[in-house]
């Protein structure tokens, strides 16, 4: 009889047995506290207020979101019931000062986003699209009147925002977007198509980026119910299934002139929003990585094979130690980047380096974590499977891994490798 067979005949430790799926399994582990993961005590660098807010968001995710999110994910539905509860956290708008938003520092916003993502990437994406893309577009590029008109209701999550930049034919090269905005009297008339637009099926305000009569890109706030605006949900997604991503058709959609974001002159202005938002996405990747590590650690302490917890095996400890090293590396790096953002010393390459590095590490950590849960790793009950699927979309949106590398590469070498030249010098 081999060792494995002998082990299956040992008495089962009832403290590790739960009723999941009708079979005895290790209970889905409760994620650990910061004491497990914050190895270099970065939490000590946060003020009491920041720590309290972090805990508040973590508690919300652990108690209100984690217990209910899996069936929504499985049905590919958005959990609208959570929106009023999210509103009570008072975090919508993240770093935006005034207009009902909390005006967080970049470190505070980052820690909040990290905690949202640790709990669930669909919910952090919902908040990211609403706050860091839609609200931030208005805050950075709107007139005073537009900020007063749109932001306070969005900060209370009474009105939800979406950000329509990507088109079916233009993702990475979105600077070439084809949607048009033609001035006609007191309105702009929008025509074109958008793809992948999160929240767009139910959003009250969708910021549509379109090319004006002068050929330059502008931002237009399209309000819910505008005739000619159609948003059809994209089905069959294997990532971020709760997020409602839409294919949008714009057919002679009339937008009042006062809804054109006042301070957008070219695509360079759009990029200001993308920089701020990409920084938030980098924090999301860290949150997902932490979820993977904490789940793997908790599971390894409970699950026994060969008569001992998985955590006692050297190879398991090696994997956990590597995960912790990656997380500590990312958090330290991102804390410094957040300080640079607060000091105004930011640049797209600096943010791109972070987004590239963290999403790659988070994917690796979640893949390892899933494996360390054995068969249970593919069950939604244990949460790692959901994070592992979802991180695929985090890798893609706001620019893929490759694209972030090209941004950094251009900065450090001086060569633009985005658009290859044919030998005859043509594209
Ligand atoms: C879940 C999800 C949510 C999203 N939410 C939104 C949203 O709310 N609003 C919005 O506007 N957009 C949104 N997007 C769109 C997202 O930003 C794009 O999907 C992304 O920019 C990539 O564009 P693409 O999918 O068209 O891929 P493509 O641009 O077609 O890229 C395909 C592949 O080619 C590679 N590639 C492209 N160009 C180069 C190059 N020059 N050199 C080397 N490799 C290259 C890419 O890295 C990628 O691997 C979302 C996407 C997803 C998946």
| pLDDT number for residue 6 | 37
| pLDDT number for residue 4 | 39
Please tell me the distance from the alpha carbon of residue 24 to that of residue 303, in angstroms, as a whole number.
11
CB of 400 closer than 6 angstroms to any ligand 1 atom: yes
Range 194-223 average pLDDT:
98
| pLDDT number for residue 119 | 96
Question: Could you tell me which of 67, 20, 65 has the C-alpha nearest to residue 302?
Answer: 20
Please tell me the distance from the alpha carbon of residue 160 to that of residue 202, in angstroms, as a whole number.
8
Among 8-22, 49-63, 333-347, name the one with the lowest average pLDDT: 8-22
Contact indicator for 92, 130 with CB cutoff of 8 Å: yes
% pLDDT > 70, the chain = 90
pLDDT band at 36 (very low <50, low <70, confident <90, very high): confident
Among 17-31, 58-72, 271-285, 332-346, name the one with the lowest average pLDDT: 17-31
Q: 396: CA distance to ligand 1 center in Å?
A: 6
| pLDDT number for residue 419 | 87
| pLDDT number for residue 33 | 56
Q: 403: CA distance to ligand 1 center in Å?
A: 9
Residue nearest to atom 22 of ligand 1 (CA): 171
Structural domains of the chain in order of their starting residue, each with its CATH number? 42-155 (1.10.540.10), 161-267 (2.40.110.10), 268-413 (1.20.140.10)
Range 181-190 average pLDDT:
98
Residue nearest to atom 7 of ligand 1 (CA): 197
CB of 248 closer than 6 angstroms to any ligand 1 atom: no
CB of 196 closer than 6 angstroms to any ligand 1 atom: yes
CB of 247 closer than 6 angstroms to any ligand 1 atom: no
Residue with tokens 């991102």: 334
Contact indicator for 302, 16 with CB cutoff of 8 Å: yes
- List CB contacts of 197: < 8 A, sequence separation 6 or more: 162, 163, 164, 166, 206, 231, 245, 246, 248
Q: Which of 172, 398, 418 to mutate to test the pocket of ligand 1 (most atoms within 8 A of CB)?
A: 172
Nearest atom of ligand 1 to the alpha carbon of 403: 47
| pLDDT number for residue 25 | 53
- pTM for the model stands at 0.93
The Cβ of residue 213 has, within 10 Å, a number of other Cβ atoms equal to 12
End-to-end, the C-alpha distance of the chain in Å comes to 67
Q: Give the three-state DSSP class for 214.
A: coil
Question: Could you tell me which of 249, 282, 277 has the C-alpha nearest to residue 361?
Answer: 282
Residue 159 backbone dihedrals phi, psi, to 5 degrees: -120, 135
Q: 399: CA distance to ligand 1 center in Å?
A: 6
Q: 359: CA distance to ligand 1 center in Å?
A: 14
Range 232-248 average pLDDT:
98
Please tell me the distance from the alpha carbon of residue 198 to that of residue 161, in angstroms, as a whole number.
9
DSSP H helices in 200-261: none
Joined together, the tokens standing for residue 255 give 């937008």
CB of 397 closer than 6 angstroms to any ligand 1 atom: yes
Residue nearest to atom 17 of ligand 1 (CA): 397
Sign (positive/negative) of CA torsion 409, 271, 279, 120? Answer: negative
Residue 397 has pLDDT above 70, yes or no: yes
Residue 1 has pLDDT above 70, yes or no: no
Range 258-268 average pLDDT:
97
Residue 17 has pLDDT above 50, yes or no: no
Residue 333 backbone dihedrals phi, psi, to 5 degrees: -65, -45
Report the mean per-residue pLDDT for the chain. 92
Residues 369-391: pLDDT tens digits? 999 999 999 999 999 999 999 99
Residue 250 has pLDDT above 70, yes or no: yes
């Amino acid at each position: 009889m081999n060792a494995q067979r002998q082990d299956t005949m040992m008495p089962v430790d009832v403290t590790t047995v739960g009723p999941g799926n009708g079979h005895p399994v290790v209970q889905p582990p409760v994620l650990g506290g910061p004491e497990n993961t914050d190895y270099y005590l970065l939490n000590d660098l946060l003020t009491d207020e920041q720590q309290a807010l972090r805990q508040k968001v973590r508690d919300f995710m652990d108690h209100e979101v984690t217990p209910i999110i899996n069936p929504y994910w499985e049905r590919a539905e958005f959990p609208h019931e959570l929106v009023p509860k999210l509103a009570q956290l008072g975090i919508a708008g993240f770093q935006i000062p005034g207009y009902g938003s909390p005006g967080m520092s970049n470190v505070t916003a980052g820690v909040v986003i990290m905690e949202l993502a640790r709990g669930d990437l669909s919910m952090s994406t919902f908040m990211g699209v609403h706050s860091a893309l839609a609200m931030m577009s208005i805050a950075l590029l709107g007139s005073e009147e537009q900020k007063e008109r749109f932001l306070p209701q969005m900060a209370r999550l009474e009105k939800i925002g979406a950000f329509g930049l990507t088109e079916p034919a233009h993702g990475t090269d979105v600077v070439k977007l084809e949607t048009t905005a033609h001035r006609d009297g007191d309105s702009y008339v929008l025509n074109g198509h958008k793809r992948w637009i999160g929240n767009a099926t139910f959003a009250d305000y969708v910021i549509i980026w379109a090319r004006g009569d002068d050929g330059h890109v502008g931002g237009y706030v399209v309000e819910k119910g505008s005739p000619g605006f159609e948003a059809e949900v994209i089905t069959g997604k294997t990532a971020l299934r709760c997020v409602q991503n839409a294919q949008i058709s714009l057919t002679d959609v009339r937008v009042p002139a006062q809804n054109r974001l006042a301070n957008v002159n070219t695509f360079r202005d759009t990029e200001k929003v993308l920089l701020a938002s990409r920084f938030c996405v980098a924090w999301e990747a860290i949150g997902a990585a932490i979820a993977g590590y904490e789940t793997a650690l908790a599971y390894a302490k409970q699950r026994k094979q060969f008569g001992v917890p998985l955590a006692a095996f050297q190879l398991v400890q090696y994997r956990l130690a590597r995960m912790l090293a990656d997380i500590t590396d990312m958090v330290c790096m991102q804390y410094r980047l957040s300080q640079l953002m607060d000091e105004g010393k930011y640049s797209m390459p600096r943010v791109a380096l972070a987004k590239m590095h963290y999403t790659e590490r988070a994917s690796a950590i979640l893949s390892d974590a899933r494996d360390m849960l054995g068969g249970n790793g593919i069950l939604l009950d244990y949460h790692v499977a959901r994070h592992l699927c979802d991180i695929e979309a985090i890798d893609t949106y706001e620019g893929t891994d490759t694209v972030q590398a090209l941004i950094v590469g251009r900065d450090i070498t001086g060569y633009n490798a985005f658009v290859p030249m044919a030998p005859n010098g043509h594209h």
